[in-house]
Amino acid sequence: MLFKKSDIKEKISQGAVFLRTMRVNAREEARVLYVSEDEQGISHVHYERTLIGSCYKEPAGTRVLSLDTFARDFQVN
């Protein structure tokens, strides 16, 4: 039986939380603020970033990534 990998793009919406593992034994948590489109029609994810390490959880401001890049780099929490 084959399983189809669910498309993460369908789950990206306001308030959703995603994680990305970083190189230095830390993780980045992204809470989606909103998704917008630019003048060329490219979708962008605006998110609030929090760095999570073994002994800390530190807010790190807001960021913007294209929808494709966000979907490639982050996993559902």
Residue 6 placed within a domain: no
Q: What is the pLDDT of residues 14-40, one digit of tens each?
A: 999 999 988 778 899 999 999 999 999
Residue 50 placed within a domain: yes
What spatial distance separates the first Cα and last Cα of the chain, rounded to whole Å? 26
Residue 7 placed within a domain: no
Give residue 23's domain range: 13-76
Is the model more confident about 71 or about 6?
A: 71
Residue 5 placed within a domain: no
In whole angstroms, give the CA distance from residue 36 to residue 64.
Answer: 10
Residue 8 placed within a domain: no
Q: CATH number of the domain that 43 lies in?
A: 2.30.30
* Of the candidates 14, 65, 22, the residue with the CA atom closest to the CA atom of residue 42: 65
Residue 3 confidence class, pLDDT cut points 50, 70, 90:
very low
Number of domains in the chain: 1
Share of the chain residues as helix, strand and coil, in percent rounded to the nearest 5? 15, 50, 35
